[in-house]
Amino acid sequence: MPGTQVTEEFKSQMTFLKTYERNYQLRKKQIEALKNNAEELKPQVEVYEEIQEEIKALKSQNKTDEEFLVSMNEMVLRSTGEPISQGPLFEEQKAGSEQQTN
């Protein structure tokens, strides 16, 4: 019976190795599929990143412009005693200052 024992152990080891190798091959295929998916999505990611950079630049420019407009409004107020009241930015400031006084 010792020969039968060795044969059973050998079969068990071969089954284990076949399963292990099958899982290895499946992971290789999965890696390849994910790489392909990533390559297909790469242009979309690049477009997304470009859009995000453009949004960031526009926000930065708007902040600079807003600071300039506010300083000009303050300068006009100092010079004339009257604030600039036309335009959405100045209306927002006016509404904000009215809420602060209430």
- pLDDT at position 64 is 95
As a whole number of angstroms, the distance between CA 72 and CA 84 comes to 9
- pLDDT at position 76 is 83
- pLDDT at position 50 is 96
Per residue in 57-81, pLDDT tens? Answer: 999 999 999 899 888 888 888 888 7
| Residue ranges in the chain modelled with pLDDT below 70 | 1-3, 85-102
Evaluate if pTM is beyond 0.85.
Answer: no
* Number of structural domains the chain divides into: 1
Q: Max alpha carbon distance in the chain (Å)?
A: 111
Contact 84, 71 (CB under 8 A): no
- pLDDT at position 3 is 61
Query: In which domain, by residue range, is 59 found?
Result: 2-101
3-state secondary structure of 32: helix
